[in-house]
């Protein structure tokens, strides 16, 4: 092979590499701007996670609907993962039938709000029968009764810079002033899932009050993601533009323990 | 052994067309990327499976509901976190390599030339004789290593056009987000749990293929065949200026 040919080859390779690097840089910027980068984008696993999340966000769209089943499809067995919170306040509220329980909604909202269970139940309620799968492999179908999260978001007035809705249950230290010290099963979702018409704040299951192990008094139901994203025993909902300053910054307590933040797959 | 093997027939063939490799570069590169990603998929797939080693049919399934198969291993939770990260990372690598391979296979007519069996080779008698010969573990001649025989062609076609598409689609059918966009994908498999069960059995078929594949490579001369899949050439090439 002649020198000239190898030099030409070298230059072409260099140009392609430079164009590739620039392309990747532009792609990363665009992806960040359009909310296509998940909080757990670091490391080698973060590469696969980012491709999955970005692809699904581009292809899945905001209004694809999880299948609605009928009441006759409801499973006889609805397993739960993990015990109810040990928190003393939680057990006091549980003993009082959650009459003193309040859901706090704060962060990037026009009107930070406390809502009682009775108030939530006075809002327009919806019933949804959908499928829920655990990342472990089991699944069930149940009917859920509650108020669409979008209704509550409209009520409190979401500020335009909000990018995530963060959910804290009684199995977290949700009242900690410093959110970097947060522990437990807190979780967060992006605005596409938050505004989705099937995303529910559920207080009823299969025609009954929400059973304690299923997250009483109120839990999230997110039918387009695995069950672990549907935070139970809700106490606090915060709207934020970043989850980097919560816990270790991965967007969920579970993600700190090795489970991917986005669970649409 | 293989370093000293001198293959007269091959040398003549080689001299006829010194620069035409046994396997093209695209086939070689995508082969090894797929092989690597398959190891990742299998390892992480087992990590995910052992969290709930039971298989069901239909939309739902859980402990306490009737199962199709109870695998004789204990429930081992705690591995599906990294298992799922590795599984989907490997799946992307595998799918992207597969796309490159499929595009190349169509455009270069690799599928038509090298994988589609000749009509005459599809006679049952011929196929049965090949199966019988393989079962006796007879080493194929070196001339045979220059092309794929009909059994190889059928096996590779089944892997490329049946098993891989099936395992990708059954995997996607399990995804709640994908099922919300393409509900027919999940219902075509008979529900999320059916898709999981089919995913398992297709994986098993791929593992079976892998075992037979490695056994046949061994039989045909491991070093030479692996060298061909790395360098493109069956025997060590003589230096040419």
pLDDT tens profile A206-252: 999 999 999 999 999 999 999 999 999 999 999 999 999 999 999 99
Looking at residue A4, what is its pLDDT? 57
Looking at residue B97, what is its pLDDT? 98
Looking at residue B204, what is its pLDDT? 98
Residue B3 lies in a domain: no
Higher pLDDT, B14 or A36: A36
Higher pLDDT, A128 or B22: A128
Q: Is A77 in Cβ contact with B181 (below 8 Å)?
A: no
CA distance B232 to chain A (A): 20
Q: Helix B150-158 vs helix B192-231: angle between axes, to the nearest 10 degrees? A: 130
pLDDT band at residue B33 using 50, 70 and 90 as cut-offs: very high
Cβ–Cβ pairs < 8 A, chains A and B: 117
pLDDT digits (tens, 9 = 90+) for B178-199: 999 999 999 999 999 999 999 9
In the block, residue with structure tokens 């522990």:
A183
Length in residues, chain A: 265
- Decide: A213 and A233 in contact? Cβ < 8 Å: no
Residue B5 lies in a domain: no
Looking at residue A5, what is its pLDDT? 60
- Decide: A221 and A230 in contact? Cβ < 8 Å: yes
Looking at residue B3, what is its pLDDT? 46
Looking at residue B2, what is its pLDDT? 43
Percentage of chain B modeled with pLDDT above 90: 73
Nearest-by-CA chain B residue for A257: B81
Q: Is A73 in Cβ contact with B51 (below 8 Å)?
A: no
**Residue B148: φ, ψ to 5°:** -90, 140
Span A111-127, average pLDDT = 98
**Residue A56: φ, ψ to 5°:** -65, -40
Residue B241 makes CB contacts below 8 A (sequence gap 6+) with none
Query: Could you say which architecture CATH assigns to the domain A67-256?
Result: Alpha-Beta Complex (3.90)
Higher pLDDT, A68 or B15: A68
Nearest to A52 among B59, B82, B88 (CB): B88
Looking at residue B120, what is its pLDDT? 85
What gap in Å lies between CA B60 and CA B58, rounded to an integer?
6
- Decide: A56 and A38 in contact? Cβ < 8 Å: no
Looking at residue B139, what is its pLDDT? 85
In the block, residue with structure tokens 């072409």:
A12
DSSP state string for chain A:
--HHHHHHHHHHHHHHHHHHHHHHHHHHHHHHHTT---TT--HHHHHHHHHHHHHHHHHH-S---PPP--GGG--S-----SPPP--HHHHHHHHTTTTT-EEEEEESBSS-EEEEHHHHHHSPPEEEEEEEE-TTS-EEEEEEEEEEHHHHHHHH-B-TT--EEEEEETTB-TT-SSGGG--BS-EEEEHHHHS-TT-EEEEEETTEEPPGGGTTT-EEE-TTS-GGGS--SEEEEEEES-STTSTTSSSSHHHHTT--S----
pLDDT band at residue B14 using 50, 70 and 90 as cut-offs: very low
For chain A, give every domain's residue range.
3-58, 67-256
Looking at residue B4, what is its pLDDT? 44
Looking at residue A257, what is its pLDDT? 95
- Decide: A198 and A151 in contact? Cβ < 8 Å: no
Positive or negative, the Cα torsion across B77, B80, B81, B83?
A: positive
Kind and range of the H or E element at B147? none
Q: Helix B192-231 vs helix B25-49: angle between axes, to the nearest 10 degrees? A: 140
Nearest-by-CA chain A residue for B75: A136
Residue A6 makes CB contacts below 8 A (sequence gap 6+) with none
Whole-structure pTM value = 0.90
Q: Is A73 in Cβ contact with B65 (below 8 Å)?
A: no
Q: Is A59 in Cβ contact with B176 (below 8 Å)?
A: no
> pLDDT at residue B239 above 60?
no
> pLDDT at residue A204 above 70?
yes
Least confident of A3-17, A182-196, A202-216, A233-247: A3-17
- Total domains in chain B come to 1
Nearest-by-CA chain B residue for A76: B65
Q: Residue B64: helix, strand or coil by DSSP?
A: coil
Residue B161 makes CB contacts below 8 A (sequence gap 6+) with none
pLDDT band at residue B240 using 50, 70 and 90 as cut-offs: very low
Q: Does B77 touch chain A (CB under 8 A)?
A: yes
Q: Is B80 in Cβ contact with A64 (below 8 Å)?
A: no
For position B152, which CATH number holds?
1.20.950.20
> pLDDT at residue B202 above 60?
yes
Residue B9 lies in a domain: no
Produce one character per residue of A16-50: b if its CB has 16 or more CB atoms within 10 Å, e if not.
eeeeeeeeeeeeeeebeeeebbbbbbeeebbebbb
Least Cα distance to A98 among A86, A115, A113, A78 occurs for A115
Least confident of A36-45, B144-153, B206-215, B223-232: B144-153
Span B40-54, average pLDDT = 98
Residue B78 lies in a domain: yes
Residue B99 makes CB contacts below 8 A (sequence gap 6+) with none
Span A37-56, average pLDDT = 96
* Mean per-residue pLDDT over chain B, rounded: 90
Q: Which B residues in the span 109-168 are in contact with A, Cβ-Cβ below 8 Å?
A: none
pLDDT digits (tens, 9 = 90+) for B72-96: 999 999 999 999 999 999 999 999 9
Nearest-by-CA chain A residue for B82: A258
pLDDT band at residue B1 using 50, 70 and 90 as cut-offs: very low
Structure tokens at B65: 């509901």
Q: Is B59 in Cβ contact with A131 (below 8 Å)?
A: yes
Looking at residue A35, what is its pLDDT? 87
Instruction: Determine how β-strand A200-205 pairs with β-strand A187-190.
Output: unpaired
> pLDDT at residue A173 above 70?
yes
- Decide: B57 and B46 in contact? Cβ < 8 Å: no
Span A177-186, average pLDDT = 94
Span B44-54, average pLDDT = 98
Q: Residue B121: helix, strand or coil by DSSP?
A: helix
Q: How many CA atoms, within 13 angstroms, populate the side-chain half-sphere of residue A161? A: 6
Residue B111 lies in a domain: yes
What gap in Å lies between CA A66 and CA A76, rounded to an integer?
21
Least confident of B27-36, B92-101, B169-178, B224-233: B224-233
Percentage of chain B modeled with pLDDT above 70: 90
Looking at residue B8, what is its pLDDT? 45
Looking at residue B50, what is its pLDDT? 98
Residue B61 lies in a domain: yes
Looking at residue B236, what is its pLDDT? 61
Which chain A residues are closer than 8 Å to B192 by Cβ?
Answer: 131, 133, 139
Domain membership of residue B50 as a residue range: 24-231
pLDDT band at residue A73 using 50, 70 and 90 as cut-offs: very high
> pLDDT at residue B167 above 60?
yes
Structure tokens at A223: 């039918």
The C-alpha torsion from B101 through B107 and B111 to B113, rounded to 10°, is -140
Structure tokens at B56: 């069901």
Q: Residue B70: helix, strand or coil by DSSP?
A: strand
Q: Does A150 touch chain B (CB under 8 A)?
A: no
Quick count: other Cβ atoms within 10 Å of Cβ B96?
A: 14
Higher pLDDT, A92 or B126: A92
Which chain B residues are closer than 8 Å to A138 by Cβ?
Answer: 52, 61-63
């Amino acid at each position: 092979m002649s020198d000239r040919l190898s030099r030409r080859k070298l230059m072409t390779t260099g140009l392609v590499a430079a164009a590739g690097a620039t392309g990747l840089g532009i792609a990363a910027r665009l992806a960040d701007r359009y909310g296509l980068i998940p909080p757990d984008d670091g490391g080698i696993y973060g590469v696969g996670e980012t491709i999955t999340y970005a692809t699904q966000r581009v292809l899945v769209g905001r209004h694809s609907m999880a299948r609605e089943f009928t009441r006759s499809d409801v499973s006889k067995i609805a397993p739960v993962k993990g015990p109810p919170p040990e928190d003393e306040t939680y057990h006091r509220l549980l003993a009082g039938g959650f009459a003193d329980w309040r859901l706090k909604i704060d962060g990037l909202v026009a009107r930070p709000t406390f809502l009682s269970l009775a108030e939530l139940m006075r809002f327009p309620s919806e019933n949804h029968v959908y499928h829920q799968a655990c990342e472990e492999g089991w699944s069930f179908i149940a009917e859920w009764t509650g108020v669409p999260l979008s209704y509550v978001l409209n009520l409190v007035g979401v500020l335009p810079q909000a990018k995530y809705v963060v959910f804290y249950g009684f199995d977290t230290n949700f009242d900690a002033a410093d959110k970097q010290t947060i522990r437990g099963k807190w979780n967060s979702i992006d605005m596409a899932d938050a505004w989705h018409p099937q995303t529910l704040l559920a207080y009823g299951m299969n025609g009954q009050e929400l059973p304690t192990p299923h997250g009483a008094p109120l839990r999230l139901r997110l039918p387009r993601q695995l069950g672990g994203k549907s935070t139970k025993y809700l106490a606090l909902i915060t709207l934020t533009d970043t989850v980097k300053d919560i816990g270790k910054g991965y967007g969920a307590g579970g993600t700190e323990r090795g489970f991917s933040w986005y669970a649409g797959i | 052994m293989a370093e000293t093997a001198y293959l007269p027939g091959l040398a003549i063939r080689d001299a006829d067309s010194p620069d035409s490799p046994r396997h093209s570069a695209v086939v070689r590169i995508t082969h090894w990327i797929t092989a690597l990603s398959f190891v990742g998929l299998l390892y992480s797939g087992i990590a995910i499976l052992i969290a709930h080693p039971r298989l069901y049919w239909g939309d739902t399934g859980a402990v306490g509901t009737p199962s199709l198969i109870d695998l004789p291993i204990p429930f081992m939770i705690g591995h599906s976190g990294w298992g799922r990260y590795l599984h989907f990372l490997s799946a992307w690598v595998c799918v992207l390599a597969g796309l490159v391979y499929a595009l190349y296979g169509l455009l270069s007519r690799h599928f038509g030339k090298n994988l589609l069996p000749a009509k005459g080779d599809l006679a049952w008698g011929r196929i049965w004789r090949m199966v019988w010969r393989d079962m006796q573990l007879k080493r194929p001649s070196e001339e045979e290593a220059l092309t794929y025989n009909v059994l190889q062609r059928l096996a590779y076609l089944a892997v490329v056009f049946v098993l891989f598409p099936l395992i990708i689609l059954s995997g996607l059918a399990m995804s709640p987000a994908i099922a919300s966009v393409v509900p027919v994908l999940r219902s075509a498999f008979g529900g999320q749990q059916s898709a999981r069960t089919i995913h398992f059995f297709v994986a098993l078929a791929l593992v079976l293929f892998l075992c037979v594949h490695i056994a046949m490579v061994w039989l045909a001369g491991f070093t030479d065949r692996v060298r061909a899949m790395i360098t493109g050439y069956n025997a060590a090439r003589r230096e040419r200026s």
